[in-house]
Amino acid sequence: MLALVVAWAFVVPHGTRTIDRHWWAWMEDSWSFALGRLANFFAWLGNSYGRGIAVTLLALPLIVRRRWVGLLAFAAVELLTPLTTALLKDLSGLARPPERLVHTTGSSFPSGHTSYAAATLVAVVLLYTRIGPRRRLWWTLAALGTVAMAWSRTYLHAHWLSDVIAGGAWGWALALAVFAVAQVASSARYASASAGSMNHSK
């Protein structure tokens, strides 16, 4: 999925798709004050202040419980997501939609807000829920949260539809990759420590 989004970044600069323009028009036609306020709330959640509060609240329990591997994985996700998204923006250079209703910087593809929301929600599921049937509900909620952020960015004309789809895919894939690496590294370290302990006892 990561490779697909990178490849997409090379294609996007050649112009927005018809579905992007139709979606923009639909968002324009469906404007309402209440939905606009809701979209602006999601915009606040994804800006520097909202992110800072969310990251702090999510990291504190990991620190208190001394879950250092989880904390490092979470920190890596929160650092790599905006960094790699910015690199993709520089790579694509796609222009933003017209008549934006919020302040934006950088190119349009992919959506930084959406990639952040997707990556953070994946991290929340992996860090704070247990494996089992109930986790399916949390994955569903994480997907809905990602979709909500994606909708808000198109509703405010900050991004094209393709931007938020790519942003969501990038955030989900990046977070899963980081936690997979952390799990493998942690398992290898545990196995090495156990082998050393057994050899020492012999």
Do residues 178 and 73 lie in contact, with contact meaning Cβ atoms separated by under 8 Å?
yes
Do residues 115 and 129 lie in contact, with contact meaning Cβ atoms separated by under 8 Å?
no
Domain edges within the chain: 2-6+39-95+108-190
d(C-alpha 114, C-alpha 25), whole Å: 20
pLDDT at 118: 97
Helix, strand, coil % over all residues of the chain, rounded to 5: 80, 0, 20
pLDDT at 38: 96
pLDDT (tens digit, 0 to 9) for every residue of the chain, 202 residues total? 888 888 877 776 666 678 899 999 999 999 999 999 999 999 999 998 999 999 999 999 999 999 999 999 999 999 999 999 999 999 888 889 988 888 888 889 999 999 999 999 999 999 999 888 889 999 999 999 999 999 999 999 999 999 999 999 999 999 999 999 998 887 766 555 554 554 555 5
pLDDT at 15: 61
pLDDT, tens digit, 9 for 90 and up, residues 158-193? 999 999 999 999 999 999 999 999 988 877 665 555
Placement of tokens 């860090």 in the chain: 127
